[in-house]
Structure 1
């Protein structure tokens, strides 16, 4: 029953996927869509300034354990997305999800099954999941 939202989304994508049914179109649109997500995040930094990237090498103490790394390492991001940037990035992620789902549909892969498999792997391997 938990896969209902994924299945409904996959069914909707399958129903409305008209222009980009070719696997080549889907792959190229997916790549373009992912680039637009990246661009939206960059614009949040460079145009809006609601977030900042502050990247530097983190010194990891020799006695640090793998469990310590979660607290020692950061995402290098300061600030919080403003409502406008959040809206743009969410829309772009949605388009990426559309094309990912279209790829699943074209290859007869159930989106929920792929998500569940990855969840199970991450849950099993936990911090050892270096993908």
Structure 2
């Protein structure tokens, strides 16, 4: 058996979707967002100071919002916690907030990324307030 032959049981690089293989791996690799991500731009300055604030990333599907959020978490050593408002409720939010609180006590921050946040109802959106304020 040839040790260099591709395995039938372990995924190889070519089995990943093209979009995943081409996804930027650092903020410097992101194209078209210099007005936000450059060193002298708002998010670039936040990353340099390692102090992110709450923000809303807006744009059409596939423009890189989730990728940028993941890269921001990586660049600031935060745990990336994604949540989809389409599939989540207040119970899911409580679990994410509790996990973030435990990490915070241990000295680790969390970047909560809520996809489709506008799909939450008013009560769900209001459940964010104490955590955003804190």
TM-score normalized by the length of structure 2:
0.23
Q: Which has the higher contact order (CA 8 A, sep 6+)?
A: 1
| Greater fraction strand | 2
